[in-house]
A = this chain, B = another copy of it.
């Protein structure tokens, strides 16, 4: 019974990892669409949102079945509850990639970004995808050593976001208000995507070690 439970829990975490990979792929493509004003790629990201929602519903069902049939307790129960929360985070990550793609579509054939902002978003996109890859790997392996990478990359995202806002707020911004509004929203979407990836990894690592990464616990 216990073995069956752990096999099913592993399978659930694989489902969540697959979802995470899918969300990262969406953000990768949404970023390419943003940088190159690629409408077809933006449309593809938007069209494939339904796939992630279906995967999310299937994962929530799997968690439900695990609870109903195995009635786990203690740490096993916490792992399933955690999976339910992770599921919501990954679904939201996919939603944020779609938000990026929709801004690209709305402005097409114009480019969304002023020339000087391309570098920021290329880098924010890279960090976002690395974070979702790291969250995916943590889901597959439960490896707490990934925690360091996640914290570093999240700091990088925060720095990029701060620089972007300084650029918008304090320096000479001569690209007009509409571009500033788009850049503000886009910056927010990348930052939130990163937050969710970090939150997923923190939950999984907490499951594995009993301590949150960066905290004072023994395994952090």
Partner-B contacts on A (CB < 8 A): 60, 63-64, 67-68, 71, 73-74, 77-78, 81, 84-85, 88, 165, 168-169, 173, 177-178, 180-181, 184-185, 188
Across the interface, which residues of B come within 8 angstroms of A178, CB to CB?
168-169
A84, A177, A185, most chain B CB atoms within 10 A = A177
**A65 (CB) vs chain B CBs: closest residue:** B77
| Chain B residue contacts of A85, Cβ below 8 A | 84, 88
Copies of this protein chain in the complex: 2
- In contact, B181 and A165 (Cβ under 8 angstroms): yes
Nearest Cβ on chain B to A118's Cβ, whole angstroms:
19
- When distances are taken between beta carbons in the complex, the residues of chain B under 8 Å from A181 are 165, 168-169, 180-181, 184
Other A-B contacts than A60-B81, A169-B178, A177-B177, 16 sampled, CB-CB below 8 A, are A63-B81, A64-B81, A67-B77, A67-B81, A68-B73, A68-B74, A84-B85, A165-B181, A168-B177, A168-B181, A169-B177, A177-B180, A180-B180, A181-B184, A184-B184, A184-B185
Q: Describe A's contact surface by its main secondary structure.
A: helix
Chain B hits for A180, CB < 8 A = 177, 180-181, 184
Q: How far is the CB of A203 from chain B (nearest CB, A)?
A: 11
Complex-state Cα separation, A122 to B168, whole angstroms:
26
What 4 pairs across the A-B complex have the smallest Cβ distances?
A71-B71, A184-B184, A177-B180, A181-B184
Known: A78-B64, A81-B84, A88-B85. A173 touches B184 (CB 8 A): no
Q: Which residues on the B side are within 8 Å of A177 (C-beta)?
A: 168-169, 173, 177, 180
